[in-house]
Amino acid sequence: MSLKSQEMIAANQRKITFDVDAETFKKAIEKVYRRQVKNITIPGFRKGHAPRAIIERMYGKEVFFEDAVNEIIPDAYEEAAKEITETIVSRPEFDLVSASVEDGVVLSCTFFVKPEVEISDYLGIPVERPAVKVTEDEVNEELKRVQNRNSRMIDVDDRPAQNDDLVNIDFEGFVDGEAFEGGKAAGHQLKLGSGQFIPGFEDQVVGHSVGDEFDVVVTFPADYQAENLAGKEATFKCKLNGIKYTELPVLDDEFARDASEFDTLDEYKEDIKKHLEEDKKKAADNKVDEKLIDALIEKLEADIPECMFENETENEVRDYDNRLRMNGLDLKTYFQYTGLDLDALRKQMRPTAERQVKTRLALERIAAKEEIAVTDEEIEEEYKRLSEQFGMEADKVKEAVDHDSVAADLKVKKAIDLVREKANVTEVEEPSEEAAKEAEEAPAAE
């Protein structure tokens, strides 16, 4: 194989022409003949035993050319691509220029390469970071969640039902004296005050005791989904079978010992505060990274081939499929549940794919401009990390992920670390959820 020519036919699109010598082509023809002859019947010869010359005389001397060319393309292209200094980012599209037993084969192919990229002013990017602050209310909220997880349900038989109780009821609904479809249930569990039922229903259960049989009269909302019931008054014949209430453990030192590794409630609350601070710190760091990446993408100058976005979109779809399979699903089942199809999923994944491609190009360029390097020790450490992450032997990981790919990934990581380290970060107080909600609901100034 020899590379005959290279040319640029469009932005980031290249065309190369290369040839394959006659001897290699002849061997490929012979290989194809031996593979196909067993399916060829020629009069006067047993099936599968017709000489090649006879077949070529009967069907033409080029009968095996197409398959022979396809046979040699992979190795020939691989050799030709080694002489391309740019990174190829698309599938090659081949054209046959000429083919003969005497002169061999001449092929051309076109493909896209990674674009030239420029980026500037990437150090010292101004960015706001949410201040990390944990309030006593937040600690108490988390403590309350733990308290609820450690609660237990207690049967009630000495008082009527009240809000927040869990009641077990039988009921049947009637409109104009006629039972209606879907209005009957036995042993239904209902938390009073939850708003699960028609407005007014739960309020009329409150005050009744176990064993009581009573009527609940309500009016269906005018926009009720069942048109035959919308706006109509209904009577539900009810029986209260049981009442339970949630007993919360007392928040004291004994609770702390039961729910944690600490001996006192104060120690446990301090630990909760510590973990909430760690979570907020991670969230704040992630916000900073997102804003820095947004800024880098804005500063990126590149004419990016469409195929790079398409390829990354397919990667996103494959990753999503793998995650579904880990949870016992697959794309086909997912589509049945959601009503989506593959094109719709690709459309959803496209913005993420574009962001990934642009981010990678920006960071690769920064790594090159800053002459970021990685050591053999860092690469080995990364292989060790990947081995532990995927539960594979290090040698298997090295077979799956080559040395250059690991080195490139580490350079990208170092690039974002540099951008983050040099960023001009200002901590800002974020409004509370209540304040943010009030701001959203406030009327706009005229």
Neighbours of 117 (CB within 10 A): 19
pLDDT in tens, the chain (446 residues): 688 899 999 889 999 999 999 999 999 999 999 999 988 888 888 888 899 999 999 899 999 999 999 999 999 999 998 888 899 999 999 999 999 999 999 999 999 999 999 999 999 999 999 999 999 999 999 999 999 999 999 999 899 999 999 999 999 999 989 999 888 999 999 999 998 888 999 999 999 999 999 999 999 998 888 888 889 999 999 999 999 999 999 999 999 999 999 999 999 999 999 999 999 999 999 999 999 999 999 999 999 999 999 999 999 999 999 999 988 888 988 898 888 899 999 999 999 999 999 999 999 999 999 999 999 999 999 999 989 888 888 888 888 888 889 999 999 999 999 999 999 999 998 766 555 555 566 555 44
- Residue 25: inside a domain: yes
Residues listed for the chain: 446
The answer to whether residues 94 and 156 belong to one domain is no
Please identify, among 59, 87, 114, the residue that sits at the C-terminal boundary of a domain. Answer: 114
- Residue 103: inside a domain: yes
Please identify, among 247, 267, 290, the residue that sits at the C-terminal boundary of a domain. Answer: 247
Q: Transcribe 276-334 into DSSP letters.
A: HHHHHHHHHHHHHHHHHHHHHHHH-EE---HHHHHHHHHHHHHHHHHHHHHTT--HHHH
Q: What is the CATH number of the domain that holds 222?
A: 3.10.50.40
Q: What is the CATH number of the domain that holds 64?
A: 3.30.70.1050
Q: Which domain holds residue 101?
A: 2-114
Q: Give the DSSP H/E element, type plus range, for residue 337.
A: helix 331-338
Please identify, among 187, 216, 247, the residue that sits at the C-terminal boundary of a domain. Answer: 247
197-254, pLDDT tens digit by residue?
A: 889 999 999 999 999 999 999 999 988 888 888 899 999 999 999 999 999 999 999 9
**Both tokens assigned to 225:** 């989904």
- Residue 35: inside a domain: yes
The answer to whether residues 92 and 156 belong to one domain is no
- Residue 194: inside a domain: yes
**Both tokens assigned to 170:** 């039988």
Contact 380, 318 (CB under 8 A): no
> For the chain, first and last CA: distance in Å?
74
- Residue 274: inside a domain: no
Give the integer Cα–Cα distance in Å for 213 and 191: 18
pTM of the model: 0.75
The answer to whether residues 16 and 62 belong to one domain is yes
Counting DSSP H helices and E strands in the chain, the numbers are 14, 13
- Residue 77: inside a domain: yes
**Both tokens assigned to 311:** 């390829």
- Residue 331: inside a domain: no
The answer to whether residues 94 and 179 belong to one domain is no
Contact 192, 161 (CB under 8 A): yes
Looking at the structure of the chain, the number of domains it has is 2
